[in-house]
Structure 1
């Protein structure tokens, strides 16, 4: 399949490349949001030490994958 060339010879990114970029952007935003909200909610519940770190890690991974998936789908559309 031919790729359209821009005015200065650059090619446009493919749909897959756009989806990869959306997934990475979503993962980074989701990781930051998970760290922020996970820390706040865990401290409110009174967690400390290993329990706190494990729960924050789990919250970060859940929001990371969820937001990354939705951003990849949005960039594909």
Structure 2
């Protein structure tokens, strides 16, 4: 299948590039949501200092990875 060329000679991103971009966007959104919800839940439990940072970081990575995975699957379906 030929690659579509735009009016100024640009080529469209490949399917892998779209899936990768979907993962990065989802990861960023998930990290932001994880920062908010993780901070609230860790403070509610009573964590302070190093324990708080570890808990929030873990929550950010988990939610970023989860949301990034679902966004990359969604972008893969659209290819």
- TM-score relative to the length of structure 1: 0.92
The correspondence of residues 21-32 of structure 1 with structure 2, limited to 5 A, is: 21-32=21-32
Aligned ranges for residues 54-69 of structure 1 at < 5 Å?
A: 54-69=54-69
Structure 1 runs (4+) greater than 6 angstroms displaced: none
Q: Which residue of 1 aligns with 2:34?
A: 34
Q: CA deviation at 1:14?
A: 0.8
List gaps (5 residues or longer) in structure 1.
none
Distance 1:31 1:15 in 2: 24
**Pairs aligned (count):** 77
Which position in structure 1 is the counterpart of 2:48?
A: 48
Unaligned runs of at least 5 residues, structure 2:
none
